[in-house]
Structure 1
Amino acid sequence: MSEPQKYADRVYRSGSALAGGVLLLGLAGWLGGDAIVRGEGRAPVTAVFALLFVAPLVIAFTLRPAVFASDERLRVRNPFRTITLPWTAVEGIRASYSSEVLAGGTKYQMWAIPVSLRQRSRATRHNEELASGKAPRGGLLGFGGGGLAASQQPGGERTAPGDVAVAELRELAERHGEGEPPEGAVTVRWSYEILAPLAVGAVALIILWLTR
């Protein structure tokens, strides 16, 4: 009897955060590189440690956050921690002011799936207009959707992007979450590759400031 087919992980990330992170890193590299090459006195050294502090911070909050969902587990990569949860340990997934996964009586935020109350309210207003028989308003000057929705269901209904992702994860949790949770199922690992250079840069900048 053949084994069930396994599928690649579903990956959830914020496109706007990725774009913002790339722009911020480019700006920091340009300013810091200029200070290192052309700076005088302590400016090059200060620029080096400033980059060592700023770059990990930008990466942590923009490029790093991601949620990976496979048939066996959910892996949540937040700015400074990575939480791995087998589906059998997941007690619930919800989105209120932030998206969260509940396991073992503890809630873990999912930074990669932001909740936009503005997008949610716009989607709700759009659906209410559809239900009342009114033609939904478009974007600027009535043209386009203005980036309102990530999902358009049959009949023209719309759902905010964060709510779409949470609904998909909730469906996966229900599909794969049967059975008894194994002991020690949830694991949390600190992101020392981010924290170490961040700490070194911060300490060095404090020392430079105190000895100026």
Structure 2
Amino acid sequence: MTTAPPESRDRIYRSPMALVGGCLLLVIIGWLGIDAVVSGTGRTPWLALAVLILVVPLVVAFTLRPAVFANDDRLRIRNPFRVIVVPWGQVEMFRSTFSNEVFVKSGTKYQLWAIPVSLRGRKKAARQTARQAARPSDARGSGRGLGLFGGGGMQADGFGGRTTVPEGPTRAETDKIMDELREMQEARGQAKASQGEVSVRWAYEIMGPALAGAVLVAILAALG
């Protein structure tokens, strides 16, 4: 009896700023909402409760929920209202413009909500690259390449000596992540375990409570 090989461990990509912002928003919304439920009069507690049921799932959906999981076989994209599983063999290309996106071979495009494009990060990386290019070559090579534990820049040549490897351009953090995903797709796109169909599942656990909250808010607003 043969057993299937264990699935490789996922690399998980998320936005730290979204996580921090989502937690702060939930604390503020919870504090104001619970205070209104406990201290409010008339329809105010019910309206506050309905707003909580509506708003909390949406905050979770757009801040805490988005994540990208990548392993040797597939890319799993957890967006606010959908979960998309794309085997590497189905990935056509990645594109980074004003948002990071993956195109599958059918032509469909999916946005990577958990890996937002940072124009500020790109500008900062461009400035660092410009400063590196402006420095003299001997200054760029000095103090680097400290052997096994060094920060990089040195490699052994064919005669037992060492030579300096020029530094590459600085990249924004999200652009580095997209480079990693491209490398994984190039390495695993033809593997047998990376074939299959794209699957999409709607996040009813988010959509259901939010819809219920919206209906309650509408009813209470109509009742005055």
Query: What TM-score, normalized by structure 2, do the two folds share?
Result: 0.80
**Pair 1:178–1:123, CA change in 2 (3 A):** same
User: What CA distance in whole angstroms lies between the structure 2 residues aligned with 1:4 and 1:204?
Assistant: 49
Residues 1:192 and 2:193 are matched in the alignment:
no
The DSSP-based 3-state class of the residue aligned with 1:199 is helix
**Pair 1:153–1:191, CA change in 2 (3 A):** farther
User: What CA distance in whole angstroms lies between the structure 1 residues aligned with 2:177 and 2:7?
Assistant: 20
TM-superposition CA deviations, 1:158-208 (whole Å, max 9, x none)? 21111011000110011110158856x101111000000000101110111
Equivalent in the alignment of 1:57 = 58
Q: CA RMSD in A?
A: 2.1
CA contact (8 A) 2:61 2:81 kept: yes
**Pair 1:125–1:30, CA change in 2 (3 A):** same
**Pair 1:4–1:210, CA change in 2 (3 A):** closer
Question: Structure 2: which 5+ residue stretches go unaligned?
Answer: 137-150, 154-166
Residues 1:163 and 2:175 are matched in the alignment:
yes
Equivalent in the alignment of 1:113 = 115
User: What CA distance in whole angstroms lies between the structure 1 residues aligned with 2:152 and 2:120?
Assistant: 19
Letter in structure 2 aligned against 1:10: R
How many aligned positions are there? 192
User: What CA distance in whole angstroms lies between the structure 2 residues aligned with 1:27 and 1:117?
Assistant: 28
Q: CA deviation at 1:78?
A: 0.3
Equivalent in the alignment of 1:146 = none
> What does 1:8-23 correspond to in 2, within 5 Å?
8-23=9-24
CA contact (8 A) 2:103 2:109 kept: yes
**Pair 1:182–1:126, CA change in 2 (3 A):** closer
**Pair 1:199–1:132, CA change in 2 (3 A):** same
User: What CA distance in whole angstroms lies between the structure 1 residues aligned with 2:6 and 2:127?
Assistant: 41
User: What CA distance in whole angstroms lies between the structure 2 residues aligned with 1:156 and 1:55?
Assistant: 44
Equivalent in the alignment of 2:220 = 208
Question: Structure 1: which 5+ residue stretches go unaligned?
Answer: 135-151
Letter in structure 2 aligned against 1:68: F
Equivalent in the alignment of 2:33 = 32
Q: CA deviation at 1:63?
A: 0.3
Q: CA deviation at 1:7?
A: 3.5
Q: Identity over the aligned pairs, expressed in percent? A: 51
Extract structure 1 runs of 4+ deviating beyond 6 A.
Answer: none
The counterpart of 2:187, out of the listed 175, 179, 183, is 175
The DSSP-based 3-state class of the residue aligned with 1:92 is strand
Q: Whose Rg is larger?
A: 2
